Amino acid sequence: MRSLRLDPDLDERLQRAAAIKGESVSEFIRHAAEVRADETLAASPRDRFADVAGTVHGGGGRARRSGEAFATGLSEDRKQA
pLDDT at 15 over 90: yes
pLDDT at 37 over 80: yes
Residue-level pLDDT at 57: 66
Domain ranges of the chain: 1-53
Burial 2-21 (b: 16+ CB within 10 A, else e): eeeeeeeeeeeebeeebeee
**What mean pLDDT is predicted for residues 1-14?**
94
Residue-level pLDDT at 80: 74
CA 55 – CA 51 distance, rounded (Å):
8
The rounded mean pLDDT for the chain is 84
**What mean pLDDT is predicted for residues 12-34?**
97
